Structure 1
């Protein structure tokens, strides 16, 4: 049964057309990589794009975009950092003392910060706000689904056998929260040999097509392992990369 909740009011100086959640049932599947890939692609198409880094205890988006400073605010409102490509970003890493400062907060505090990222951040005019959530079905995804007008989510997964159970957990949570699932993106699908071009399934054979069919969902991309992407992320220049493997995801976003 779907549950309805009272949404948090948007910041008074912001206008956000579409809020897209990016979720995963488990960690280590490259969810932030997929978030940044979609954000960069939409930005290159001319859309105004923002990323809310809601992975409070494991933020990685600012580093991927080469942002290392502090967020600016007046005590009541906060301005997001702006990357070189124009993407607006808010993350707890822009608020703590240093990038290495751990966030040791209990669930209610974490949930409160996520709400503040929505109500207190002056996002301005945004076409697509991507919410990069921590793995699992805990406090942050629950807060986002309850408090933000999420128009749809994209589930990120990997090829391992246990993926069916993990995907279904995320899918079922979205159903309980009455949030549409736009589709599934599989990361780490294969490694292409640089010499012969053969595709090597490092994490086993993919089962994403049958899982998607079972849930009546679309597969929006199968992403290979590519050291070039990791190199760009480490250099803080991820937005310069093109990711043709998420073309279907971009089509789905534009059709919302």
Structure 2
């Protein structure tokens, strides 16, 4: 079993190949002095037409829920979609997409085959370790595992790969932005000032590494009482929309805070799937449509 092989790999091999994939022997290139290497060359992900990173400056703003529902909404628009869970330490995609088990390997044994549900292909570290097992790794091992998740997964042909980024502006964000051709980033924030402070850092990070900002999404824009439908702006009013205008980046839309969105996400039946014609799914569909419009402006085949 892949996960057992993964967990029992020797310490030396663990640093070189943390996912335990079989790799054919290759001739090593000549050593290049560190000063001459420069930044890593960005590589496209095989078979994937467009890659977007869904990010947040801090945790707890509903980034993964938003990423999943955007991906599912795009899949409902006849796009071939995949989700890559780049949060090595706290993967959420297996639960949100109601997936479990280990991915199979290709015939050559050198690539992982994504799991699939709701018509969307998914890959996550959560498929490779036990649900309650902590990943106690240093940065080098995390980066090596991330590189394998980026370049050693057989996605087939995808119109869109949504990368669910971990919160913050650390090593993972830098590795992805420097090693993968990313068509754009989407930053998720609540209207609260303390969340917007970190969201601005996220926007500026992507600008610094030359990743286009596709826009900002305001999550938990207001609370809707499930009993009386009373609306309350418990996190503030239109903070993300004003910030997007101030930073001159697109505002993609907003999603309210409602018990149904939370409950259905926890059960592995996201709102776009369980209530596709409802008012909350409509928010995600509108955001996905705006994203696809931006991507298609440079690729008529995506229209």
Task: Name 1:141's counterpart in structure 2.
Answer: 173
Query: 1:137-191 deviations in whole A, cap 9, x for unaligned?
Result: 0011111101111000000001211233212211111111100001100111111
Q: Is 1:184 matched up with 2:216?
A: yes
| Higher RCO (C-alpha under 8 Å, 6+ residues apart) | 1
Larger Rg: 2
Instruction: Please tell me whether the aligned partners of residues 189 and 223 of structure 1 are also in contact (alpha carbons under 8 angstroms).
Output: yes
Runs of 5+ unmatched residues, structure 2: 1-37, 296-303
CA distance in 2, matches of 1:146, 1:49: 23
CA distance in 2, matches of 1:48, 1:219: 25
Instruction: Please tell me whether the aligned partners of residues 187 and 215 of structure 2 are also in contact (alpha carbons under 8 angstroms).
Output: yes
Q: Is 1:131 matched up with 2:163?
A: yes
Of 114, 133, 138, the residue aligned with 1:80 is 114
| Secondary structure of the corresponding residue to residue 68 of structure 1 | coil
Of 280, 283, 301, the residue aligned with 1:245 is 283
CA distance in 2, matches of 1:43, 1:245: 15
| Equivalences for residues 42-191 of structure 1 within 5 A | 42-73=74-105, 75-83=109-117, 85-96=118-129, 98-191=130-223
CA distance in 2, matches of 1:229, 1:104: 32
Instruction: Please tell me whether the aligned partners of residues 79 and 160 of structure 2 are also in contact (alpha carbons under 8 angstroms).
Output: yes
Distance 1:218 1:8, change over 3 A: closer
Q: CA deviation at 1:9?
A: 5.7
Q: Is 1:199 matched up with 2:234?
A: no
Q: CA deviation at 1:110?
A: 1.4
TM-score normalized by the length of structure 1: 0.91
Higher helix share: 2
Query: 1:189-236 deviations in whole A, cap 9, x for unaligned?
Result: 111134543311122333122211110012212111121122222222
Q: Aligned-residue CA RMSD in angstroms?
A: 1.7
Query: 1:74-118 deviations in whole A, cap 9, x for unaligned?
Result: 5421101111x121000001111x111111111221122221112
| Equivalences for residues 28-43 of structure 1 within 5 A | 28-43=60-75
TM-score normalized by the length of structure 2: 0.78
Task: Name 1:224's counterpart in structure 2.
Answer: 256
CA distance in 1, matches of 2:241, 2:151: 38
CA distance in 1, matches of 2:227, 2:155: 45
